Structure 1
């Protein structure tokens, strides 16, 4: 029997087919499983490596950038900056670019360490994985900046984690989207982790190239743009112009 890849959905299907086969043909030997994008010898880490990379990178960048933004406000650096003629777009652009570059370097280190030190299997291009991780880093910085505008201290920022980060884990590929009940799987299009982890899965597991993943890259870029505009608008809380 041939399946696409290993996940909880395929495991449930295998169990159901095996039970049915034993009931109908008790004397038949055990079914032989074959996977299109993986081998039966791949462990759980190989199958979910893209989830761990995406979620861990996004989570830490969100925490570090969000806390940095909160401390900027706590130290009144942001208030003093807004007293100058500089526009809100320049403020958000500077913060996003500065912290985004640092987060991008961190993401590059993570993917290179995972591939060349931990020896995680990557069927496609490592360069494309790096590009996806960089886009996720900028998304995480933008999310962290947006949340920090509404948080008065580091503790309040941490309290946003169950609302902002944990729900996104369900859309990272940890469980199949179409198995999420009540149609809640459609909310995946509103989460940046979904676009990044889906692209990573297509590269690392399926060996896809740029032509296959470009819609997910465009989705990540659009998300970054939307978050940037949301940050600029939210900064009106401190200055109207």
Structure 2
């Protein structure tokens, strides 16, 4: 992997996105609007204080997965990836460049979402807001890397969407949004322990609650990081130059 080529890829991706207002709106505004909608639904209750941290994890994660996977797949279907890889550009340069580009966007996205949830929607946060933001950014980056991995196997945009029931939905169901993970049936709790979104939700809930020991939060962040790096590495090993 070459640093210059990686940064060149990152710059190219950011330039493309800068000229696509709809993608910018989808990345930066839609998660915030969905969080606001949830807060509005439960405006007369205290439910949002309970599920708000999970919403900060959920919506950016899904949006980053979709946008990244479709954008990467489009590079391959249009022949752009084949032309790039014919140059001195490796698969690692390509995927890590994409990860860095969308990671920078994830910082902006997470900052907007967290600020909106806390200062507009009134989400009560007892822990450090900086740590909450860090977890939110790592969660969005996780969605990016899983999207890159899905794009390595998909042939069409429709197939990318088909990966959601396999990659996204189980994590939502077992992540502790509908039922606390310690109340899940035997077997499902063990499965949820291996799913990265579960750790993102746990970490956000712990920070929001202001737990006495943030050690487990840093463990959760480490697990998310391992998943994200693993997804990019696996994606670089399986990425094809073009769609058959």
- Superposition TM-score, scaled by structure 1 size: 0.76
Q: Any idea what the Cα deviations from partners look like across 1:100-155, whole Å, max 9, x if unmatched?
A: 21122111111111111111111111111100011111111000010011111211
Which consecutive unaligned segments of at least 5 residues does structure 2 have? 1-43
For 1:74 and 1:108, the matched residues in 2 are separated by: 33
- Tell me if the contact between 2:53 and 2:205 (Cα under 8 Å) persists in the aligned partners: yes
1:123 aligns with 2:126: yes
- Tell me if the contact between 1:104 and 1:134 (Cα under 8 Å) persists in the aligned partners: yes
Alignment of 1:102-117 (within 5 A): 102-117=105-120
For 2:211 and 2:184, the matched residues in 1 are separated by: 26
Q: Find the counterpart in structure 1 of residue 182 from structure 2.
A: 178
1:164 aligns with 2:167: yes
Q: Find the counterpart in structure 2 of residue 142 from structure 1.
A: 145
Aligned residues: 198
For 2:236 and 2:117, the matched residues in 1 are separated by: 35
For 2:230 and 2:136, the matched residues in 1 are separated by: 18
1:196 positional shift: 0.9
Q: Sort the Cα spacing of 1:157 and 1:189 in 2 relative to 1 into closer, same or farther, 3 A.
A: same
For 1:217 and 1:199, the matched residues in 2 are separated by: 8
Q: Find the counterpart in structure 1 of residue 55 from structure 2.
A: 52
State the structure with more CA Rg. 1
Q: Which one of 192, 202, 205 corresponds to residue 206 of structure 2? A: 202
1:182 positional shift: 4.3
1:211 positional shift: 3.6
For 1:88 and 1:188, the matched residues in 2 are separated by: 31
1:172 positional shift: 2.3
Q: CA RMSD in A?
A: 1.9
Runs of 4+ in 1 over 3 A off after TM superposition: 206-212
- Tell me if the contact between 1:128 and 1:210 (Cα under 8 Å) persists in the aligned partners: no
SS of equivalent to 1:194:
helix
SS of equivalent to 1:181:
coil
Q: Find the counterpart in structure 1 of residue 4 from structure 2.
A: none
1:178 positional shift: 3.2
Which consecutive unaligned segments of at least 5 residues does structure 1 have? 1-40
Alignment of 1:193-232 (within 5 A): 193-208=197-212, 210-232=214-236
